[in-house]
Amino acid sequence: MAASGVAEPKAEPSSSGSLSIAPAATNPALDSSFVTNNNLASIHALVAPPPAAFIKLKQPPRTHSFFDARNTLGFATLGASLTADALSTQKGLAYPGFVEMNPVARPFVQSRTGAAVYNAGSFGLMAGLMYWAHKTEHHKLERILPFAIGSWEGLLSARNYHVIANRPK
């Protein structure tokens, strides 16, 4: 029904293929009463958003303490591998023909005091980088960094002991 109470005619195809004019009252979804209808449930059903089960909201990153269990394990791994590399380097330098491969560390490792300063500086630099990553919310980098560097230093210390064990006697 129209707002004036008079049905407006609608054109609908008939079974014979010609168009026939039918009152809008036969199809209430298409008449003008749709505009004046306060119940908009039928139109909201057509444009409703998908169910909330299909929408995955991004969770805010969880905050953690800098000295939590993972970072403490990372610091321990890094410290142990730096110590192993320093000890294996000092042991290797006692034999002729053994040289430090790292050109930055080479001047420091000629004495035990220099090696201790170099390793303490390396540990402090790594701790500082981890803290910077923590403060700038790069938590994956903060977690990966000590284990990656610790693994590399562990590999170098294993190489040093392998070279020492297989040196010509």
pLDDT for position 48: 62
Residue 46: the pLDDT is 61
What pTM does this model have?
A: 0.62
pLDDT (0 to 100) of residue 57: 81
Each of the 169 residues of the chain gets a pLDDT tens digit; together they read 445 555 555 555 555 555 555 555 555 555 555 555 566 555 555 666 666 667 778 887 677 899 999 999 999 999 999 999 999 999 999 999 899 999 999 999 999 999 999 999 999 999 999 999 999 989 999 999 999 999 999 999 999 999 999 998 7
Question: What is the rounded CA–CA span in Å between residue 6 and residue 24?
Answer: 9
CA 113, CA 86: separation in Å to the nearest integer? 11
Give the pLDDT of residue 74.
96
Q: Which of 21, 39, 160 is nearest to 102 (CA)?
A: 160
Specify which residues 20 forms β-bridges with: 12
